[in-house]
Amino acid sequence: MPTTVPAHGPDAAARLASMADVTASDAALRRFLHGLPGVDAVGLEARAASLGTRSIKTTAKAYAIDLAISMIDLTTLEGADTPGKVRALSAKGVNPDPTDRTTPRVAAICVYPDMVATAKEALGDSGVHVASVATAFPAGRAALPVKLADTADAVAAGADEVDMVIDRGAFLAGRYLKVFEEIKAVREACRRPDGSSAHLKVIFENGELATYDNIRRASWLGMLAGADFIKTSTGKVAVNATPANTLLMLEAVRDFRAATGVQVGVKPAGGIRTSKDAIKFLVLVNETVGDEWLSNEWFRFGASSLLNDLLMQRQKLSTGRYSGPDYVTVD
Amino acid sequence: MSDKSEKAEAVRLSVFKTYKLFVGGKFPRSESGRVYEVTDAKGKWLANAPQSSRKDARDAVSAARKAFAGWSGATAYNRGQILYRVAEMLEGRREQFVREVGEAEGLSKSKAAAVVDAAIDRWVWYAGWTDKIAQVVGGANPVAGPYFNLSSPEPTGVVAVVAPQESSFLGLVSVVAPVIATGNTAVVVTSERAPLPALSLGEVLATSDLPGGVVNILSGRTSEVAPTLAAHMDVNALDLAGTVDDAALAKELEIAAADNLKRVLRPQAVDWAAEPGTDRMTAFLETKTVWHPAGAGAASGSAY
């Protein structure tokens, strides 16, 4: 196995170039993606369900809760977002539980591109990143120049991370190279004038990809195109992150690292609301790709209400009393 | 002829009832999987009742919290209708409750019937109070300014009720009905020794249009479940009716309840058969006072 390099590092491009033959043409790419082994759907779901039955208690639970908090991309993606709400969310991300300063910070605040500057200003030098969705989120139905301008805008406003959506229409129509080129173009748009680059998360919208085989193909496609993170969903459709589709993506990043030596992160998003769910995902990570992925550099939760539940569980562990929604913020 | 019917009886297998908790409008077993033996007044085995754990208490509180907005937001008239419906459903199951109460409390059939009748009448009594309590304990206050000043009673939230230990049915109804009549939601810890009438009441409530989660019924060891509820930060009030004979437990629960300043109704000896008055309703009401400008008329000295 080749030595590992991070997807966002300088050496990743050379590793990806070694796979250039499979991405040379639409036909080659289709041959490669359709040549990936089919997914055993029943086996996958059974595996995800059995890993969900692990009992995580006491000190392990306390560790898992703090880890999960530090992995959250605290998200607000509403039409009704105001600068005030973004500032409030940023304050919460930096200091999730004002009554207990030992609570870790979240990983990032995730907002629409026009709110990036507000979030950046509110977060200051706290170390919490600003993530911005881009490329006509959540539908992704816009012309490429519009998507690139959207991305460049977010980066110029100071986004540390960009969450793009793939063109599901093109993907489902089998035009894989179009999707591939688009991801590459967005990746270029993430570049800053000083040569550094905003991290790119690629959202597949698993709920719209219809089959597990498609999710596996999309994962490989995204990673070949240079994704730093692959992300399950926008949170805007009926089916979002499930243990099964996240497990499938974790297997994809594991296999991708084995093949190329490039390590890619995973971000399940949408529908993860309770500490219990979050801990199930952490078990999946640990059992599938191991503890190298157990940090917010490689695994994130896209969530808004999850943080409150984690904080209530944290309060329960430290005081012995069950907490309630009166003791956490509303948003 | 009698031979034949005896044979027919012999082949009929008995259908045992599995008593279950009532949480969020559903009938789960205890999360812990535990049960304990329930006996009648003479010590004869009646059934196994679920022995609730801390987690059952937690689940019941979340269910009650979830139900609170809808129930407290329902019109008082609508709550009255539903409480009356509970009485109707109880009437239909009168025989079953007479048997269960008789066995649990060692009463003759006629005495048990009197207890059940009193309990049904109590539901009706509280059903009538839902849209009247606001007039009795709220109202307009005289103030020296051009304002209306109105006090209105509001339900306090989730109320944990430790039900009376001896009066397993009439006592239970007498503590649960006033709590929900005013728009609170309840988590009820049943009589430890005689939980069966309470668990059967859950079946009645489930068929009475009462929204799921408004009443949640937990059977088990009072000393195990009640402290969790008393310490729970999302419980707003505590009725200690069932700790009247256990001063040490009552004290422990009151101390735990002080953490988030729960309203506590302290244990007191009560004759459950007597007419209850409004005390148990007002114990779990908070008064909201609103100032409202009275407009030009008041400013110019109008009496209105």
Q: Can you list the domains of chain A with their CATH numbers?
A: 5-327 (3.20.20.70)
Which long-range contacts does A92-100 make (Cβ < 8 Å, 24+ apart)? A92/A307, A92/A329, A92/A331, A93/A123, A93/A128, A94/A123, A94/A126, A94/A128, A96/A69, A96/A307, A96/A311, A97/A311, A97/A314, A97/A315, A97/A328, A99/A327, A100/A314, A100/A315, A100/A318
Candidate from B228, B231, B234 with C-beta closest to A325:
B234
- The four Cα atoms B246, B248, B250, B255 give a dihedral, to 10 degrees, of -170
Q: How far is B228 from chain A (nearest CA, A)?
A: 7
Give the Cα separation of A162 and A185 in Å (integer): 13
Q: How far is A228 from chain B (nearest CA, A)?
A: 39
Residues of A in contact with B65 (CB under 8 A): 324-325
Q: Tell me whether B234 touches chain A (CB under 8 Å).
A: yes
Per-residue pLDDT of chain A (331 residues; tens, 9 = 90+): 568 899 988 889 889 998 899 999 999 999 999 999 999 999 999 999 999 999 999 999 999 999 999 999 999 999 999 999 999 999 999 999 999 999 999 999 999 999 999 999 999 999 999 999 999 999 999 999 999 999 999 999 999 999 999 999 999 999 999 999 999 999 999 999 999 999 999 999 999 999 999 999 999 999 999 999 999 999 999 999 999 999 999 999 999 999 999 999 999 999 999 999 999 999 999 999 999 999 999 999 999 999 999 999 999 999 999 999 989 998 7
Mutation pick from B61, B158, B232, B233 vs chain A, by most beta carbons of A within 10 Å, is B233
Q: What are B35-78's pLDDT values in tens digits?
A: 999 999 899 999 999 999 999 999 999 999 999 999 999 999 99
In a domain, B108, yes or no: yes
Please, what's the b/e burial string for B16-45 (b: 16 or more CB within 10 A of its CB; e: otherwise)?
Answer: eeebbbbbbbebebbbeebbeebebeeeee
In a domain, B292, yes or no: yes
Strand ranges in chain B using DSSP code E only, listed in sequence order: 35-39, 45-50, 139-140, 147-155, 158-162, 185-189, 215-218, 237-239, 263-265, 285-293
ipTM: 0.83
| CB within 8 Å: A320 and B231 | yes
Q: What are B232-281's pLDDT values in tens digits?
A: 999 999 999 999 999 999 999 999 999 889 999 999 999 999 999 999 99
Q: What are A279-325's pLDDT values in tens digits?
A: 999 999 999 999 999 999 999 999 999 999 999 999 999 999 999 99
In a domain, B113, yes or no: yes
Q: How far is B235 from chain A (nearest CA, A)?
A: 8
In a domain, B202, yes or no: yes
According to the model, what pLDDT value does residue A331 have? 73
Domains of chain B: total: 1
In a domain, B15, yes or no: no
Whether a cis peptide bond, with omega within 30° of 0, leads into B211 is no
Residue B200 sits in a domain whose CATH number is: 3.40.605.10
In a domain, B2, yes or no: no
Q: What are B199-246's pLDDT values in tens digits?
A: 999 999 999 999 999 999 999 999 999 999 999 999 999 999 999 999
Nearest CA in chain A to B55: A322
Write out the residue range of the structural domain in which residue B187 sits: 51-299
- Catalytic positions of A: 163, 231, 267
In a domain, B162, yes or no: yes
Residues of A in contact with B259 (CB under 8 A): 321
| CB within 8 Å: A322 and B65 | no
Chain A positions contacting chain B at CB under 8 Å are 315, 320-327
| CB within 8 Å: A321 and B61 | no
In a domain, B268, yes or no: yes
